[in-house]
């Protein structure tokens, strides 16, 4: 039923997924919600997914106030799920909305660490972030023995291609999780697999420079 769009009000939908009498109970587990309650209101968004509350940041990953000025002299950085996720406004994005998944979080963390090192050495020419090429890859679990993998998605609605599904995709997700944990433990296998993911010498996809 991968190509079947959810529509609980449609009898045709229930017939198509082989539940003509409909489900007894429906659980809707989608969307995201900010948990940045520890940050001052002056740096949190009034809008955004889940009603707002996301940390404003600039292209160098520095936390900013609502007026765009840096907070705490630009010494605090926000990466991954906690930040607002985009820069600018439609249709003239400086950086379109980035999915709140693990890959962009790791990529942004690398960018922030590089800028922390520049500041620590007394430098001022920080390096900007970008829409990561891996942000368009989604491995979504659909149960213990089912999953789907989408490739080449971007901020445009309907983009991307489902290239793997069912048990092969579930195995792929298991490999991703186990090797990432191995990398976090400084394991040889995980490091060998994932090192070049964030040290890609040439970018063929995404919004980053060709030679980062």
Cβ burial, residue 34 (10 Å; 0-12/13-18/19+): buried
- The more confident residue out of 65 and 135 is 65
Average pLDDT value over all residues in the chain: 88
- For residue 205, pLDDT over 70 is answered with no
Q: Cis ω on the peptide bond leading into residue 91 (within 30° of 0)? A: yes
User: Is residue 132 within 8 Å of residue 142, measured between CB atoms?
Assistant: no
Q: What is the pLDDT of residues 89-100, one digit of tens each?
A: 888 889 999 988
Nearest in space to 131 (alpha carbons), one of 85, 172, 77: 85
| Residues sharing a CB contact under 8 Å with residue 65, sequence separation 6 or more, in sequence order | 42, 43, 56, 71
In this predicted structure, the answer to whether residue 197 has a pLDDT above a threshold of 80 is no
**pTM, rounded to two decimals:** 0.78
Work out the number of other CB atoms within 10 angstroms of the CB of residue 10.
Answer: 11
Cβ of 100: how many Cβ atoms within 10 Å? 16
- 115 versus 209: the higher-pLDDT residue is 115
CA angle 114, 119, 122 (to 5 degrees): 135
Say yes or no to pLDDT of 31 above 80. no
Helix (H, G, I), strand (E, B) or coil at 31: coil
Q: What is the DSSP letter of 90?
A: T
Residue 152's contacts (CB-CB under 8 Å, 6 or more residues apart) are 136, 137, 159, 160, 161, 205
Q: Residue range 12-37: average pLDDT?
A: 88
Would you place residue 204 in the very low, low, confident or very high pLDDT band (cuts 50, 70, 90)?
Answer: low
Please state which of the ranges 57-61, 84-88, 182-186, 202-206 shows the lowest mean pLDDT: 202-206
Q: Which of 127, 121, 134 is nearest to 207 (CA)?
A: 134
């Amino acid at each position: 039923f991968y190509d079947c769009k959810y529509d609980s009000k449609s009898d045709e939908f229930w017939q198509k997924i082989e539940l003509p009498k409909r489900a007894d109970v429906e659980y809707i587990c989608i969307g995201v919600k900010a948990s940045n309650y520890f940050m001052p209101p002056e740096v949190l968004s009034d809008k955004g997914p889940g009603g707002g509350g996301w940390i404003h940041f600039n292209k160098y990953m520095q936390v900013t106030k609502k007026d765009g000025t840096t907070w705490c002299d630009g010494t605090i950085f926000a990466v991954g799920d906690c930040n607002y996720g985009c820069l600018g406004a439609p249709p003239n994005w400086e950086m379109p909305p980035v999915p709140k998944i693990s890959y962009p979080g790791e990529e942004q963390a690398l960018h922030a660490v590089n800028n922390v090192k520049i500041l620590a050495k007394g430098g001022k020419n920080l390096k900007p972030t970008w829409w990561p090429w891996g942000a368009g890859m989604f491995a979504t679990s659909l149960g213990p023995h089912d999953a789907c993998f989408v490739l080449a998605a971007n901020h445009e609605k309907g983009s991307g291609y489902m290239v793997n599904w069912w048990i092969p995709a579930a195995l792929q997700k298991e490999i991703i999780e186990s090797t990432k944990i191995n990398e976090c433990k400084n394991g040889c296998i995980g490091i060998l697999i994932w090192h070049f993911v964030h040290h890609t010498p040439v970018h063929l996809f995404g919004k980053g420079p060709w030679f980062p």
